[in-house]
Structure 1
Amino acid sequence: MGRQSEMSQKQGLEERNMARLNPVVALNRVPKNMTGWCKTVEVDSLGTMTVTCVTSSGYTVPHGLDGDVVFALLSAYEFQGRPTDGRVRVNMNNLCEYVGLKPSTNTYERIYDSLQCLLNTLYHAESCWGNERNGKWEWRSLSFRIINSLGFKNTGETKQEARAFGESNSDVVIQLGDEIIQSVQMEHTRWVDLATYHRLSFPLVRLLYRLLEEQQAISSGKTFRVPVAALGQHLGLRELDPDGGIESKYNVPKTRVIRIDRVRRALEPAHKELLEMGYLRDVEYEGRGQKQEVIYTFGTNVQITADVETVALLTKHGVTAVRAAELVRAHGRERIEEVSAQFEARLAGGYRPKNKAGLLCNMLEQPERYAVPEVSKPEGSKEVKSRPVAEEQPAPVERDEKMAEMLLRRCALHDTAEGKELLAKLVAAYVSGKINTGNLIDLASLNSQAARARGAELLRAS
């Protein structure tokens, strides 16, 4: 696919071998002595994948959050213009943002551990590392690391502070694996919408989403059928073999896929989430025992929505992604922003609807029920006529300082004097019409550093 340099950080980058081979175990926890695994599995028309994972220095195999870190590093590499040396240079707050976690000392430590684990893990792929050229596939066997080198630079007023990793200003330099960089340079990549990705609530659903996206790209179909046992194997839903032993020529611990019923239970919350957001239209099982298959029917791909930010104004109040996309197409950004502002004003005034999503949709589709009174004085008459007004009538919303301050009341910029100064400028820009309601609502959802960066960007653009 062609490179799209105009893309902002709304789009993350997927290297397609990482998506197809799935080098990270989906489990949140693994035994301390699971220091490797080997899988030979076939899930698509491109053939068998044989991949072995080997860790060193006593590390367990990459799992859980490590998959999000891999995706974050690839996205950061793209955001920085694909440096030819393969190095990603970020501070910890940036990296937290790319991973989709709120910056904190605990988060820094988790990401630090993840980076160390990836640095100390080697993968062996046998005739299944692919690149597509002019409609033809080229397959290679190779050994690769996701991270080739890792460096940290910390600053502080004392030697102890400077040595203490975990501050937000800790700079990280990560050199990605040569094979991954080469694949990206050859454009064996795919875009992933970050707003959609970060709405997914746990590692397994995010790995499944990335796997399904890749399979949909491979087949260009509306469904994807795969044996449940193969899917469990591919996602890394495995455990150490109770009989012990080692396997493969790389002498990794012998593992086995968990029982079919446990695979289904593990997948259930992921399926529910992808169905609710509209990415999947249906999930069905056929067959029994080891011959069971799961059939995924794809729904509306929320990534094709042109205006993800506007969709987010609705989904944050419980409107499903598919329904939100339909409403945006039907009413347009300006109308969505106007009604979202009215809705936010009602909530700020203390109103607590039983069904937020339902009320918001009604305000969009039945505006006459929520109309502001229109007063007229016909010539020679003092009679006042009004349009119908719903019992739950919203107050008129003005583009004034009070409205702006209400929308920004929870913004992280309030935490510092510098942030408050930036807020004042943003309020002034809003009142003058240089930035819009959606911009302010988006700011209120960001962490402090991201809000500062976004606020400065809005002011420059205005």
Structure 2
Amino acid sequence: MNRKRPKPNAPQIERNLDRLGLFSIQARLGHTPSWQAAFVIGGRAVRVQGDSSRGRPHGADADLVLGLQQLFLQQGAPEDNWVHTSANALREASLMTKNGRAFHRMREGLLRIWSTGFIVTEGWRRPDGSAVRFNDAFRVIDQIRFWDQESMGDLPELVPDSTLSVRLGAPIAESLRAGFMHPLNRTVLERLEQPPSRALYRLSEAHRYDDEGTIRSSLTVNLMDWRAACGISSTDTDKIRRALDPAHQELMANNYLRDIHMTGRGQNTQFEYVYLTEADPDPGLVRLLREQGVGGPRAVQLARDHADRIHEAVEFLQHRRMAGGTPIRNPGGLLSDFLVNREKYEFDPGILAPQGERTVQSFLALERQREAERQAEQAAAAKREALSRLPSAEQWREERGALLLMLRRVLTGEELALLEAQAVAGTLLATELSSQATAARARGEWDGFVEGLRRRLRSGG
């Protein structure tokens, strides 16, 4: 049985859904059975293709997916990928207001999402210049079970308090289960009144994070690339700006954007989003967490939520290493668990006695601490297992930041290009390589690992 997880302090969003621009931010959209978009943002080239008998998901449909993700996590990320809830509970989790047509719109939105198949293509270049492309065909929702009723206007709507069951698509559920998320600011989400503003906020946040977890203080985007990512149907530059302007104004009014600079003309227009950064974490704390093996977006979230205890956590990790006993297989996971579940660990900063002077009481405390560490390691192992089931290119996308952080100083540019090409093609598996690299560092076998990796790259895997 899955253990229920505590309700997140901040809404968590799967990284790729918003970054890929699958849903249109427009509140109203004409019926289009198929569409495609290609764009480059932050150096990441993406091509998205969609097919749906009910038209492209848009507007508040993205709010429903956000709500489903929160409920999925609150219910312990069940292995069968089902979310069992009610229309009322989903409406609340989606931060949607209750009005006369809310449950009709929810019914239509869920069916629109269910009916849509996506093909996402991301491309790389091998060192010889030839192209290799990874294609992922999937649905965000695989199945829905619901009760509906006729409303006063003869429009079918969900029954508010009857059971509503939704099964997430396997790639989405596995990504959430493995922890590939970044946090959203609940205050900003609750203050934004219009679905296009909320959708643009999520899209902006998705591209604001880089692969190593750093949050940009500004983001520059080409107008036509941004149009494609936003799912705006018009290609007229004036209409694109007019479509974005209400969301821009609301994002600035709610202290998310400090300013928007526009340069260039026509299709060469560029937007620079300048963010309010007062609530951003100390970059020194993020760097400190990254050095201890914490993943990029997770390091940002921990530095923001637990800034006053980061140094204590690092000191705990140092003491744990000095205490001996079972080797720490996943120091980043242990440090994260210490910050989130502090009550599990008996540790007084600066007071831990040398091993020879421990009392029976301190020995028992250490045993309890190690049990907590074993639980944290089990959770980390489950996350690694979920990641290992993803396609090779998806594994590379998730592990890229951590691997480059470890290897960019010891491999040449040509070797790094070979690494990326082979990881995308599946000759090398990024998840396995990341675990091997972490273990080699912990055992003091780093030089041998790097040399072995060089031989594998030269031989083609």
Q: Distance between the aligned counterparts of 1:195 and 1:281, measured in 2? A: 16
Q: Secondary structure at 1:103's aligned position in 2?
A: coil
Counterpart among 42, 45, 57 of residue 44 in structure 1: 42
1:156-305 equivalences in 2 (<5 Å): 166-218=158-210, 220-238=215-233, 257-300=234-277
Give the C-alpha shift of residue 76 in structure 1.
1.3
Partner Cα distance (2:63, 2:133) in 1: 26
Q: Per the alignment, do residues 145 and 303 of structure 1 end up closer, same or farther by CA in structure 2, a change over 3 Å counting?
A: farther
User: Which of the numbers 52, 58, 76 marks the counterpart of 1:55?
Assistant: 52
Structure 2 residue matching 1:114: 3-state secondary structure: helix
Equivalent in 119, 126, 136 of residue 121 of structure 2: 126
Structure number having the greater helix percentage: 2
Q: Which runs of 5+ in 1 are unaligned?
A: 130-137, 156-163, 239-256, 308-462
Give the Cα–Cα distance (whole angstroms) in 1 for the partners of residues 269 and 42 of structure 2.
Answer: 16
Partner Cα separation in structure 1 for residue 123 and residue 177 of structure 2:
19
Cα shift at 1:301: 6.1
Answer whether contact 1:25 1:63 (CA < 8 A) is retained: yes
Name which one, 1 or 2, has greater alpha-carbon Rg. 1
**One-letter identity of the residue aligned with 1:53:** G
Helix, strand or coil at the partner of 2:187 = helix
Distance 1:22 1:193 in 2: 19
Answer yes or no: is the 8 Å Cα contact 1:280–1:300 preserved in 2: no
CA contact (8 A) 1:279 1:301 kept: no
Is 1:17–2:9 an aligned residue pair?
no
Give the alignment of 1:62-461 within 5 angstroms. 62-104=57-99, 106-127=101-122, 140-153=134-147, 166-218=158-210, 220-238=215-233, 257-300=234-277
CA deviations over 1:181-209 (Å, ceiling 9, x no partner): 11112221112233321211112211111
TM-aligned CA deviation for residue 300 of structure 1: 3.1
Task: Give the structure 2 partner of residue 28 of structure 1.
Answer: 27
2:45 is matched by which residue type in structure 1? T
Contact persistence 1:9–1:194 (CA under 8 A): no
Shift of residue 78 of structure 1? 1.1
Structure 2 CA distance for aligned equivalents of residues 198 and 39 of structure 1: 30
Provide the secondary structure at the position in 2 that maps to 1:95. helix
Structure 2 unaligned segments of length 5 or more: list them: 125-131, 150-155, 282-303, 307-461
Aligned residue number for residue 373 of structure 2:
none
2:325 aligns with none
Report if the CA contact (8 A) 1:88-1:175 is conserved. yes
Counterpart of 2:146, as a letter, is F
- Tell me by how many angstroms 1:103 deviates: 3.2
| One-letter amino acid of the counterpart of residue 102, structure 2 | T
Instruction: Say whether the 8 Å CA contact 2:105–2:157 is kept in structure 1.
Output: no
- Alpha-carbon distance change, 139 to 261 in structure 1, aligned in 2, over 3 angstroms: same
Q: Greater RCO between the two (CA within 8 Å, min separation 6)?
A: 2
**Are the counterparts in 2 of residues 10 and 195 from structure 1 also a CA contact under 8 Å?**
no
* In 2, Cα distance between equivalents of 1:140 and 1:186: 21
The one-character-per-residue Cα deviations of 1:234-253 (angstroms, maximum 9, x if unpaired) are 10111xxxxxxxxxxxxxxx
Q: Work out the CA distance in 1 between the residues paired with 2:99 and 2:11.
A: 23
Conserved 8 A contact 1:87-1:173: yes
Question: Structure 1 residues 25 and 113 mapped into 2: Cα distance closer, same or farther (>3 Å)?
Answer: same
Which whole-Å CA distance do the structure 2 matches of 1:128 and 1:81 have between them?
34
Deviation at 1:127, TM superposition (A): 2.6
Shift of 1:303: 8.0
**Amino acid paired to 1:183:** S
Q: Deviations over 1:365-387 (max 9, x none)?
A: xxxxxxxxxxxxxxxxxxxxxxx
Report the CA distance between 1:141 and its aligned residue: 1.9
State the 1:275 CA deviation.
1.4
Structure 1 contact 14–74 (Cα < 8 Å) conserved? yes
Query: What is the distance in 2 between the residues matched to 1:191 and 1:301?
Result: 16
- Could you tell me how far apart the structure 2 residues matched to 1:26 and 1:64 are? 5
Distance in 1 between residues matched to 2:133 and 2:80, nearest whole Å:
24
**Identity score, percent:** 26
Letter of the structure 2 residue corresponding to residue 286 of structure 1 = T
Alpha carbons 2:14, 2:176 under 8 Å: kept: yes
Q: Hey, what's the Cα distance between the residues in 2 that align with 1:149 and 1:171? A: 14
Which letter maps to 1:271? H
Tell me, yes or no, if the aligned pair for 1:119 and 1:149 is still in contact at 8 Å: yes
Aligned length: 266
Q: Secondary structure at the match of 1:42?
A: strand
Following TM superposition, by how much is the alpha carbon of 1:18 offset from its aligned partner in structure 2, in angstroms?
0.2
After superposition, the CA RMSD in angstroms is 2.7
The CA deviation at 1:91 is 0.6
Shift of 1:165: 5.4
> Which TM-score applies when normalising by structure 2?
0.54
- Matching residue of 1:449: none
The change in CA–CA distance for 1:230 and 1:301 in structure 2 (over 3 A counts) is farther
